[in-house]
Structure 1
Amino acid sequence: MPTAPDAAPPELAAYLEGLPEPHILFDRRYRILAANAAYRARFSPGASVLGRTCHDVSHGFAVPCDRAGESCPLARSLTSGQRERVLHLHHTPQGEAYVDIELVPLRDATGTPAFFVEKMAPLGVAQGQASARGLIGRAPAFREMLALIARVGPSQASVLLLGESGSGKELAARAIHEASPRAARPLVVADCASLPETLFESELFGHERGAFTGAQAARPGLVEAASGGTLFLDEVGDIPLPMQVKLLRLLESGTYRRVGSTELRHADLRVVSATHRDLPAMVAGGRFREDLYYRLGGFPIRLPPLRARPGDIPLLAASLLARLAPRRRLQMAPAALAALAAHPFPGNVRELRNVLERAALLTDGDTVTAEVVARALAIGAAPAGQPAAPAARRGGTAREAQRAALAAALASHAGDRASLARALGISLRTLYRRLAELDGLQAP
């Protein structure tokens, strides 16, 4: 295999230096030969990266990314013979951050790739560590979703977000908007599930004075408010059938009319929609227009449920607690995290937030224990709409939740009973009592 020179061609290094985005140049042995000012300022202020390997600088890996669980754009480019694009979680001076990487091979006179240029675009809409805002996660399912958001964000394509209630569809919509050229303009949310059919058209398109009883003045709609930006149609599966044809016209022609007006208006916006419903089944049942379904679903992205990414619960818990109780600096005991990981969370991240809010209120000190998590899970355990369970049944629910929390703690703890009690945030005497009460569960 040919060996690339030890230094970057001066004209190429000078060209990269003038680019506004972070760029590096490296050879087939992963050695960085040039890094422009934007890269140095963002990823290595005050430290030289020349001569180091890209995988060492970006990840702290001693071996190439594809041998350490990541996707290596260089290896992919050598196989495909063309440019490659991947999403990586990089080490930066500010902590770990998601970076969208585009690699371009540069060929020598024989047509063999000799150098590789990487353009790096930090993806500020998501974090791989606890954060006060944005999407948070590191699990493979989360990263697959994030890679799709990074791909489609800068485009004008219509995006359909699919996922269970509470899985973060509005956050994903905001991430798509913030990754787009429209980020400086509004993101307007239309909650389709909460709009009554009689007012849907007026809310979406606006109305003229006197268009209907109570319309005492002309009023712009959500489409107008989103001009130049993004319109997010949340729970699009709840749009009434009569309105679906008018929405289709907006999507296909970019035009609409206010209620009570014959004037045709133009809309400059991008549409992102979301639903937890099975739209193909609704199409088959005649409850959703097939043409609208295909128009909305130009680029579908499925959001993973929380149970598909249990490894992200510690990150999410730390972030949510910081938002829910910013002055208290609450910590999660290891056994408390184990108890959360053992819960299926049918309500996804929204349910996790509710549980942590209860846990914060039930915690007197600075550590949330497994016992508190069990109580937080037990509160309000009856399904919505059903009468409250009798006291004996509520006690049984709490008992089962405590059993699950303690069982998770026992399974995850390798020390003796004293250290287990410390991890749970309770006294050794209380631990023995809990073990006896919960049908004699045995500590390790």
Structure 2
Amino acid sequence: MTNNVSSDSQSQSQPILSPDRAELTSFLEGLPEPHILCDPDYRIVAANQAYRHLYGGEGELTGRTCYEVSHHFDRPCDQAGESCPMARARESGQRERILHLHHTSCGQSYVNIELTPLLNPRGEMTGYIEKMETVQHAHLQPQAQGLIGRSPAFRQMLALVMRIAPTDSAVMLLGETGTGKDLVAQTLHASSQRAAKPFVPVDCSSLTETLFESELFGHERGAFTDAHRAKAGLVETAHEGTLFLDEVGDIPLTMQVKLLRLLENGVYRRVGSTEQRQADVRIISATHRDLPTMVREGRFREDLYHRLCTFPIRLPPLRARADDLPLLADSLLSRLMPQRRIKLTSDALELLGHQPFHGNVRELRNLLERAIVLTDDTQIGVEAVEWALQLDRDLLKDPQDGAKESTLSGSHLPMGGTAEGTLRGSWQRLRVEQLRERLQGWSGTRTELARELGVSERTLYRKLKALGMV
């Protein structure tokens, strides 16, 4: 072909001159990745075998619109609430890349799209080539591993992950504890050109200042007491792969300058050695700390911060991913109890949706594990979730307030029976007279009363309604 169309076009940004259509169709057919050729009106002119396999069609794809096949839309993506790479290419005149959610033969999947405009000799756009790449490490159904979600906040984060993953740029993952920074780091590695090489995590918060240098860079025999043999460090172990520095804000200040040297020059020395070694690693770091504040206070080097934070990605908290809660809960339950196929009732799921989850997905996992223990059924009801939540509340209470604990406190619940039956019995022990007495002298809100009783507002309302008090 006179005008070669590269299947590895991420480094190119310009459109290409349109070759003969038959020649181009033949070329696309030989590419391993799914490709289609579209006209300016979104109609599919040609689809290669990989695309037909991905979208479950043979000859019937030709003549249909790309948005109908991939999205099941009746209008272009940008008119249906999505970002359209074709519309963006019209404005920019260049190649465009975007993350979309597509309907494929395997169900809904995340797909990276790279769209290349085709020009005629007069510089007019005559069509577009779309290359599709299914994202392997993010899912829309419960999975044993990988990222899971479909909320706008999750999709925005995933789009950044997929855009930066193929590069060697240093990535800083920012977010609250329990948001899955280690999982995102693994996804970045698995989606990179270094995927076949080691992924080496370093828990910076667990390393003392004396151990940090030795663990990271290794040491020679006799470098210090008990160094009976030479040892390779984690940087050396991660050669040609990815080094993940988790909780990077906990790196001792005296060690930060040595890490900076590694980032700037790619060189390091083992403890006890004068030999300079070369490192070929990609650095991904993560923290829940406020590093800019630490920089201003002199607790974190500014030059190191800028080297680590080449491409920052903020992970959304669980409370910003309300749409993902059912997916995450199902996935966690299947991981925790694969043999029981246990599910949450709709009321229990609704109750979970009202929790702040300051510990995010990790806290959700702990809560679900407790709820599993507290129920013997195949469904986790709202009462079991309330009991699991109460166990957390009891941990946060001041021991001096033990005498004031609610009648419904988890520590007062008898052993035996199901969680649902136990909590129902606890409600019965909370006499009508006690409730009336509380209500008569209560000047706060129902939400505050429920909190004092140690139950959800929804449960309190149901009990009051059953007793004719509302």
With normalisation by structure 1, the TM-score equals: 0.88
Letter in 1 for 2:311: F
The aligned runs of 1:252-263 (5 Å cut-off) are 252-263=264-275
TM-fit CA distance, 1:109? 3.8
Paired residue for 2:260, among 225, 229, 248? Answer: 248
Q: In 1, distance between residues paired with 2:239 and 2:345? A: 47
* Residue 379 (structure 1) aligns with: 391
Residues 389, 182 of structure 1: alpha-carbon distance in 2 compared, 3 angstrom cutoff: farther
* Residue 295 (structure 1) aligns with: 307
Letter in 1 for 2:333: L
* Residue 459 (structure 2) aligns with: 406
TM-fit CA distance, 1:279? 0.6
1:329 match: secondary structure = coil
TM-fit CA distance, 1:80? 2.2
Mark the runs of 5 or more structure 2 residues left unpaired by the alignment.
Answer: 1-19, 411-449
TM-fit CA distance, 1:81? 2.1
Letter in 1 for 2:374: L
Q: In 2, distance between residues paired with 1:368 and 1:50? A: 48
Residues 84, 215 of structure 1: alpha-carbon distance in 2 compared, 3 angstrom cutoff: same
Letter in 1 for 2:179: S
User: Radius of gyration: which is bigger?
Assistant: 2
Q: In 2, distance between residues paired with 1:118 and 1:388? A: 66
Paired residue for 1:72, among 84, 89, 94? Answer: 84
* Residue 444 (structure 2) aligns with: none
Q: In 2, distance between residues paired with 1:405 and 1:193? A: 41
Give structure 1 regions of 4+ aligned residues with deviation exceeding 4 angstroms.
382-389, 394-399, 432-437
TM-fit CA distance, 1:366? 1.1
Kept after mapping to 1: 8 A contact 2:117/2:128: yes
Kept after mapping to 2: 8 A contact 1:336/1:405: no
Deviations 1:380-425 (A, max 9, x none): 2256796596275254666635324537xx8xxxxxxxxxxxxxxx
Kept after mapping to 1: 8 A contact 2:137/2:187: yes
* Residue 140 (structure 2) aligns with: 128
Kept after mapping to 2: 8 A contact 1:167/1:349: yes
TM-fit CA distance, 1:147? 0.6
2:228 match: secondary structure = coil
Instruction: Quote the sequence identity (%).
Output: 57
Letter in 2 for 1:305: P
Q: In 1, distance between residues paired with 2:316 and 2:285? A: 17
Paired residue for 1:348, among 360, 366, 372? Answer: 360
Deviations 1:29-86 (A, max 9, x none): 2111111122222332667421211111111111211122211111122222222111
1:273 match: secondary structure = strand
Q: In 2, distance between residues paired with 1:384 and 1:242? A: 36
Residues 405, 245 of structure 1: alpha-carbon distance in 2 compared, 3 angstrom cutoff: farther
* Residue 204 (structure 1) aligns with: 216
Deviations 1:148-182 (A, max 9, x none): 10110000000000000101100110111011000
TM-fit CA distance, 1:373? 1.3
Matched, 1:60 2:113: no
Kept after mapping to 1: 8 A contact 2:53/2:105: no
* Residue 417 (structure 1) aligns with: none
* Residue 251 (structure 2) aligns with: 239
Q: Which one is further off, 398-407 or 324-333?
A: 398-407
Mark the runs of 5 or more structure 1 residues left unpaired by the alignment.
Answer: 1-7, 411-431
Q: In 2, distance between residues paired with 1:203 and 1:386? A: 40
2:392 match: secondary structure = coil
* Residue 437 (structure 2) aligns with: none
* Residue 364 (structure 1) aligns with: 376
With normalisation by structure 2, the TM-score equals: 0.83
Kept after mapping to 2: 8 A contact 1:371/1:405: no
Q: In 2, distance between residues paired with 1:389 and 1:16? A: 72
Kept after mapping to 2: 8 A contact 1:100/1:122: yes
* Residue 283 (structure 1) aligns with: 295
Letter in 1 for 2:302: E
Matched, 1:328 2:381: no
